């Protein structure tokens, strides 16, 4: 159940046979979706308009990390705006999921292998506004146009990011 390099001692009637101990490499078994794990900064969301990513580690049913590529994961990110996801097989058992979106809100990322969700999927991805974009901010209110000495005038500043998301 544990992958790794092990020493195999073989003896007959208390005597070690020639070549013993043998070094035996035990590789991880076939990838099991329910044992795969996801990690990385993008698993917690982030600011809109930026490239976000997280990594899925292929693991066998015993939790051993798979050290080779070839698993075919599928990722779908859905939410307030279109957010296409791409998957890069790093050929070492890790797959990088890349996504971005332009509208704030909570997105959902489903990552599956063979139709089965990986551990924790679907993931909730809160996307927050990007930095304030001054040319897109607006100011409104009567206090911008007329006022009287000694009287309070009001106006409103609406700060937004480059995609129009309010701050």
pLDDT tens for the chain, residues 1 to 167:
888 889 999 999 999 999 999 999 888 999 999 999 999 999 999 999 999 999 999 999 999 999 999 999 999 999 999 889 999 999 999 999 999 999 999 999 999 999 999 999 999 999 999 999 999 999 999 888 888 899 999 999 999 999 999 99
Contacts 24+ apart (CB under 8 A), 80-89: 80/104, 80/105, 80/107, 81/105, 83/107, 85/109
Closest CA to 87 of 77, 78, 99, 96: 96
Considering only CA atoms, which of 109, 120, 112, 118 is closest in space to residue 46?
Answer: 109
How far is the C-alpha of 61 from the C-alpha of 116, rounded, in Å? 13
pTM tops 0.85: no
Q: Enter the tokens of residue 90.
A: 């790093």
Q: What is the pLDDT of residue 50?
A: 95
At 120, list the tokens. Answer: 């924790």
Residue 82: per-residue pLDDT? 85
């Amino acid at each position: 159940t544990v992958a790794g390099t092990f020493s195999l001692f073989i003896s007959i009637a208390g005597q070690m046979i020639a070549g013993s101990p043998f070094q035996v490499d035990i590789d991880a078994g076939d990838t099991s979706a329910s044992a795969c794990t996801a990690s990385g900064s993008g698993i917690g969301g982030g600011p809109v308009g930026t490239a976000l990513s997280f990594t899925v580690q292929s693991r066998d049913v015993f939790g051993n990390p798979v050290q080779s590529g070839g698993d075919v994961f599928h990722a779908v990110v859905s939410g307030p705006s279109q957010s296409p996801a791409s998957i890069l097989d790093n050929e070492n058992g890790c797959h990088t999921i890349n996504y971005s979106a332009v509208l704030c809100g909570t997105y959902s990322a489903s990552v599956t292998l063979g139709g089965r969700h990986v551990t924790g999927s679907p993931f909730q991805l809160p996307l927050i506004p990007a930095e304030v974009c001054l040319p897109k901010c607006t100011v409104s209110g009567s206090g911008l146009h007329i006022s009287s000495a000694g009287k309070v005038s009001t106006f409103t500043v609406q700060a937004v990011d480059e995609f129009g998301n309010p701050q």
